[in-house]
Structure 1
Amino acid sequence: MQDRTTNRMLYSLKVAGPLTAAALGERLGITPVAVRQMLARLGEDGLVGFEDSRESVGRPKRYWHLTDAGNAQFPDNHAALTAEILASVSAVFGDAGLDSLISHREKATLNQYRAALEPLDSIEAKVRQLAEIRSAEGYMAEAKHELNGDLVLIENHCPICVAAKACQKLCRSELEVFQGALGPDVEISRFEHILKGARRCAYRITEKQPDNPQLAMKL
């Protein structure tokens, strides 16, 4: 059984991506010696791996990351069963039946998100609220600003990844739901995608500029 500190280490690597032992120690508030002992044990269990990166003159830095087995430590919300159900729906009712099922799920989710976001005034507040909702659903989501000021919604985990691999319409539906929930005044694009090999899904949210330049000056 893993202890609390070990779970925190796995969580840090899941959320932050590859980290050095020193960076992990700072995040967890434990000594470098303890970090290296824990990483060695997790490496023996096949939960973490590492890559050495030469960034400047001197010894290369070792960055630790989760393996597939490490990622599997995080819940997948019965996704294998969901994938089987989706395959059965397609087999029995055809593609039209599967499309109807996904459309129904999309509408129900959109109504739920809209009800939570509509009372909020700013786009940033809505995105942060959306991140909280998605985290509660198991996506380990967070909202951040990039250096250029763009607002980004990050999902560090996909609890339906197995199902999404089997039915990629789920991912397309997800993007449409985000757009509908945040409204027509923003544009959303996915620039990192777990199904395309990224360690997370990330969405850039930008406010649309008014078509009328004079209106833009007044705003």
Structure 2
Amino acid sequence: MKNELPSHERAVWILKTRGAQPLSAIAEEMDVTKEGARFHLLKLEKEGLVQSQSKAEGRGRPKKIWSLTEKGHARFPDRHANMTVNLIAMMRQTLGDEAVQDVINANEKRTLAEYEEELKECDTLEGKVAKLTEIRSREGYMAEYQEKEDSFLFVENHCPICAAAETCQQFCQAELNIFEEVLGEEVDIQREEHIIKGARRCAYRIAK
């Protein structure tokens, strides 16, 4: 997808999905010269979307590391954030926490059924992880996975329901429950990074 974006938007995408990066890495990902990448980054810096800081690494001049600002992260929408947070607050006030949990459970059940239908033809763990990545990317989570020596690293670079999850962390538990169900009881899933705890992304270690 990032190759279909204008060059300056590709830089934003790279920093969102890869985290803070030096100029050389950004230039390589964009397939442009360092000067070309610097031009786009300086433009984005003027718009308040990216920032840089110097990082010393051994001898020599400190290296500039580029990252997204809060405004830059906001380029990736949190779907209906204010409305969702307000609805959760109103449900708690008028119906109580139990009603909120009932709604989350119902949504978990519905989502699980949809995922199971899409994964029913997958007969390997990698096939399931790949299909789950496709589904979650379609839903706005900017998902990807990497095969490790004895496991898979499943990553969501963005959370389109982050505001709701911060207000009601049962959403995150429901998400983990769904992953465990669709990938199988014999699979061990550990959340290693969590956006609402301050990480750049949510990352899961998946192993048999």
TM-score range, shorter chain: over 0.9
Report the counterpart of residue 177 of structure 2 in structure 1.
Answer: 176
- State the shift of 1:159 in Å: 0.4
Report the counterpart of residue 75 of structure 1 in structure 2.
Answer: 77
- State the shift of 1:33 in Å: 1.5
Matches within 5 A, 1:32-71: 32-71=34-73
Q: Distance in 1 between matches of 2:126 and 2:205?
A: 12
Matches within 5 A, 1:93-172: 93-146=95-148, 148-172=149-173
Q: Distance in 2 between matches of 1:50 and 1:90?
A: 42
- State the shift of 1:89 in Å: 1.4
Report the counterpart of residue 191 of structure 2 in structure 1.
Answer: 190
Any stretches of 5+ residues in structure 2 without a counterpart? none
Paired residue for 2:22, among 4, 20, 23?
A: 20
- State the shift of 1:116 in Å: 1.1
Q: Distance in 1 between matches of 2:63 and 2:127?
A: 38
- State the shift of 1:149 in Å: 3.1
Q: How many residues align?
A: 204
The answer to whether the 8 A contact 2:48-2:71 is kept is yes
Q: Distance in 2 between matches of 1:173 and 1:195?
A: 15
CA deviations on 1:63-88 (whole Å, 9 max, x unpaired) are 10111110000121112211111111
The answer to whether the 8 A contact 2:150-2:207 is kept is no
Q: Distance in 2 between matches of 1:5 and 1:151?
A: 31
Aligned-pair Cα RMSD in Å: 1.2
User: Deviation above 3 Å: which 4+ runs of structure 1?
Assistant: none
SS at match of 1:77: coil
Calculate the TM-score normalised by the size of structure 2.
Answer: 0.94
CA deviations on 1:31-67 (whole Å, 9 max, x unpaired) are 2222112211211221111222222221121110111
The answer to whether the 8 A contact 2:7-2:40 is kept is no
Report the counterpart of residue 8 of structure 1 in structure 2.
Answer: 10
Query: Letter of the aligned partner of 1:23 in structure 2?
Result: A
Q: Distance in 2 between matches of 1:180 and 1:87?
A: 29
Report the counterpart of residue 201 of structure 2 in structure 1.
Answer: 200
Q: Distance in 1 between matches of 2:178 and 2:129?
A: 13
Query: Letter of the aligned partner of 2:157 in structure 1?
Result: N
- State the shift of 1:135 in Å: 0.2
